[in-house]
Copies of this chain bind each other. A is one copy, B any other.
């Protein structure tokens, strides 16, 4: 339909050089509960309203909306316009996918393609939500409500698997499990903890206790109960194990004590117990309601706490690394340097799962993702060994891998590696690096690009509500500027080579903090606060090599038959 602006143009008859603008107003309505006739009527009404409002006003409204988005969300990389452009392309994909999702969730491809059939995965919580939580928290809340509204189906699913609590579907479009392959689907129980984790990060960032107490806590209780019935204490009661699970890495499935799953389940159990106990102390009437509707008892909270404390975290004393699972280090190593394997990527399209599963070979970061999300108590030396050991085994066949590897490499000072992985994530779809961008944009990786900038190079962290910044500015970047909305205040963080500056730029008068910046505690207000210090990412490629040598001697690399 041509709009008034188009009609305002003096149409020619194909004359060359004539400037012409055609406009089209399109209306889209969708609902699961309304008839097609009603939807058609709503579409017509919307179009009529748009015509009345007019093109210029619509465009101005849109520009204003996007202006607000960029003001609160932009990340600025000075001196690198090509990177800047690519960064903004990624952030734009994120807001396109989430702004109008309301409580329908954010699918893996947003609305950009038919890949994954429009289904939602854990990607939303672990990769897309951090960006939303810290820049557009209301959209993050919408996405979390999407999970909250799914609790009835998740309860039913847990029963189907003979478990207590709730099990969120590995892939879904309507709340029911849609994965046809349990080994790389249902067994990825970590999705429960991923959702609980994203919920808590949202709560710490926003202080939105209203959502937590009225709805979020039901997610915490259900997921904690699930992990209690999935795992078990060994006879001594000192070790809580979780068996037959699949971690984020789908090239190893149905294993015992996956590092990632166990650290995330520990977080889940702790958070559920802490929130419930805090409710009991500070909001006894809300706790009573929770107890009435869920049958929650104090004994149960004690049990969660005991399980979290007893959670078994696999660690190999000899190699001084965290095995991905109990049996991982006993497997053969896949020689990814074999030139015959190069063209056979992703492996999953060229090898039978039984072949892939027999080897130490990763589709994507697994222990390394665990170290990023829940590695605060792991010494840097161990992290370096972990990172290096898994680095050479990781194919990156999943688009979820590079951005995580970049973050942890930046934290550990593996400068070139951090930048390499960052660029792989940044240009994933712009350069169609995985050859499948036609199926849609990898929304999770777009979120990972923001995370790599803010958590990786920016060094921003939230440790149970305590925020810290410890930047690792890439070589050749003059500055890095990003925004995080904390407790309703938009804090602008500017990392320069020798200082970090923080300032509340939106949200009114107020204070945020203390925030630990390069080891120094500061309180942030509407006037800039500046902390001097070396922000540059220190190159420690030697450390990478040394950690590599240390792990190299332990096992031989084998070559898989072609």
Contacts and interface: CB of A to CB of B under 8 A. Distances in A.
A161 interface: yes
Contacts of A244: 354, 357-358
Interface string A243-283: 11000000001101000000000000000000000000000
Contacts of A351: 162
Given A232-B558, A561-B164, A182 B352 contact: yes
Given A162-B352, A182-B353, A352-B162, A243 B331 contact: yes
Contacts of A164: 561
Contacts of A355: 161-163
Interface in A536-562: 555-556, 558, 560-562
A518 to B, nearest CB: 44
A232 B334 CA distance: 13
A561 B254 contact: no
A104 interface: no
A558 B187 CA distance: 21
A232 B161 CA distance: 35
A357 B187 CA distance: 11
Nearest to A232: B332
B326 A186 contact: no
A400 B358 CA distance: 28
B354 A256 contact: no
Nearest to A253: B254
Q: How many copies does the complex hold?
A: 2
* Residue among A162, A326, A352, A355 having the largest count of chain B Cβ atoms under 10 Å: A162
A354 B332 CA distance: 25
A338 interface: no
Interface in A48-94: none
Nearest to A554: B235
Nearest to A561: B162
Given A187-B354, A326-B330, A331-B243, A235 B555 contact: yes
Contact of A161 (B160, B254, B327, B352): B352
A361 to B, nearest CB: 12
Nearest to A187: B354
A301 to B, nearest CB: 20
A5 to B, nearest CB: 58
Nearest to A189: B354
A332 to B, nearest CB: 5
A291 interface: no
A114 interface: no
A79 to B, nearest CB: 48
Chain A at the B interface: SS class: loop
Given A243-B331, A332-B232, A354 B254 contact: yes
A229 interface: yes
A358 B161 CA distance: 11
Interface string A153-193: 00000001111100000000000000000110011000000
A162 B562 CA distance: 6
Contacts of A330: 241, 243, 256, 326
A206 B241 CA distance: 53
Contacts of A358: 243-244
Contacts of A253: 254
Interface in A4-18: none
Nearest to A350: B162
A196 to B, nearest CB: 20
Interface in A191-230: 229
Contact of A186 (B241, B354, B561): B354
A454 B326 CA distance: 43
Nearest to A560: B162
A254 B254 contact: yes
A205 to B, nearest CB: 34
A354 B161 contact: yes
A361 B332 CA distance: 28
Contacts of A561: 162-164, 229
A358 B256 CA distance: 9
Contacts of A326: 327, 330
A268 to B, nearest CB: 19
A-B pairs, top 10 by smallest CB distance, nearest first, are A244-B358, A162-B561, A162-B355, A161-B352, A243-B358, A244-B357, A232-B332, A161-B355, A187-B354, A162-B560
Given A161-B355, A235-B556, 14 more contacts: A162-B352, A163-B355, A182-B352, A186-B352, A186-B354, A229-B561, A232-B332, A244-B357, A253-B254, A254-B354, A254-B357, A326-B327, A326-B330, A327-B327
10 contacts: A161-B352, A163-B561, A182-B354, A187-B354, A232-B332, A241-B330, A244-B357, A253-B254, A254-B354, A256-B330
